[in-house]
């Protein structure tokens, strides 16, 4: 492992688990996927991207489900990050 990569991972660890889950999981993974999912599902259903009731229902559903899944994703990547840092210290 490169020293620069290890230092980057160490800084991420210092920011803490809660910060990692919020930034990497919820904000970095969950919210972008919620918007992407809404756009894809709207276009696949043959609707134009008008702001109608079905669009809002899809968006609100996605804004609940994907950030919730982002918590899981952030916790999972936190575990991986900790393992990589521990291996890099050896």
Answer whether 35's CB lies under 8 Å from 67's CB. no
pLDDT digit string (tens) for 24-43? 999 999 999 999 999 888 88
Angle of helix 3-15 relative to helix 53-89, nearest 10 degrees, comes to: 120
pLDDT digit string (tens) for 52-87? 777 888 899 999 999 999 999 999 999 999 998 888
Report which of 20, 19, 14, 8 is spatially closest to residue 78, judged by C-alpha positions. 20
Delimit the domains of the chain by residue range: 3-89
Global pTM value: 0.82
């Amino acid at each position: 492992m490169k020293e620069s990569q290890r230092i980057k991972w160490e800084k991420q660890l210092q920011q803490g688990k809660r910060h990692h889950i919020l930034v990497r999981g919820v904000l970095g993974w969950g919210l972008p996927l919620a918007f992407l999912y809404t756009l894809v599902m709207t276009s696949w259903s043959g609707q134009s991207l008008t702001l109608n009731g079905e669009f809002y229902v899809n968006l609100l559903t996605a804004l609940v489900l994907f950030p919730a899944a982002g918590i899981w994703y952030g916790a999972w990547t936190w575990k991986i990050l900790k393992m990589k840092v521990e291996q890099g210290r050896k």
